Structure 1
Amino acid sequence: MPLPFLTADRDLDDRAAETPALPHDEPDHWRRPYRPGPWRVGAAAVLLLLASFVLLSAMIIAMAGSLPGAGACALIGVLLTALAVRLVRVGVWVSAQGLRQVNLLRTTTTPWNALASVRTLQQPVRWLGLPRTVQGQALIVERAQGAPLRPLITDHSGDFLARPESFEQATDVLEAWASEHGVPQGRPGGSGSDRLP
């Protein structure tokens, strides 16, 4: 059974150098231009393991004759499964329509023509999404009007921690998508991204 939320162009590593802007054939299809990292996939796997134990408990409770308790356990198991799936879907998705930032509880979609700039900056970033911050890099998107989006991706997130090459490749692909759709690179009126050497 295919799991579309895990797909991210299997041959992206080989094709990114040849066609960095649009390394796929369906620009209208929403896709994440990078693979989910091992930290995110591992956390989702732990949640699914916990959900399987809870659902097994629900079955045992139902066989013992306590249907309300079994229903409560089944509901908790379903919620844990939905949380695991949502955790794997978290990230940045792109298509010809715009840029979509999927968070655990909400999704923000912004059309390309509403973006003012896309750039990579060195700044304090959250380590694995926790309150602790470390010095790192983040891909920043500013809107033409309104508040800027939260950092799209950082090199210390669950997708890119200890994977600097993957972070560089993801930022290159996202910046190429933005450039393909007319979004300026770097600060408006500036000289491009402020990426670390």
Structure 2
Amino acid sequence: MTRSRLQTIRCASLLTPAGWRRDCVIRLNEEGRIESIVDDSTATAELILTGLVIPGIPNLHSHAHQRAIVGLTEHRAADHDDFWGWREMMYRANAAINPDQLQDIARYLYIEMLRQGYTSVTEFHYLHHQPNGLPYQNPAEMSERLIAAADEAGIAIALLPVLYCRGGFQDEPLQATQKRFFHT
């Protein structure tokens, strides 16, 4: 990452494995990891947190590309709506997402996560190829865009490329709308 990181954070109340500590300073290394916690009411700090400070929460199951359909599938339009209808809506919405759009969608999602207290994300990466199902010139294009989005947002990421080579539970071949997801 190229942006500067905080080195010191003053906490009014900090939850540690040993219990609550009051009026202490967290010192971070260049990677943003805790180097030490000191009880020093006179130490200066770059950031002062006056509320309760607790450990960050990892988001262990994210699909950034699905952020684009939030609000479109939260209610049932008909009694026959089910998971399969939702899945088709997801395929249609993702049919035209390009690398720039995926990066924008993911960055927005990751910023939302940070604002809610998440400190890292495990991204289940499905959207690998171009809309026509062919690989990008750089086969890792979409993966690199997710990593760049996380870097821009300031959240740690573990990227899990998903194996997707069947069109359903009965061993059907991939449909045209699923070809972007194909990965071996």
RCO higher in structure (CA 8 A, sep ≥6): 1
- Structure 2 length-normalised TM: 0.28
Rg larger in structure: 2
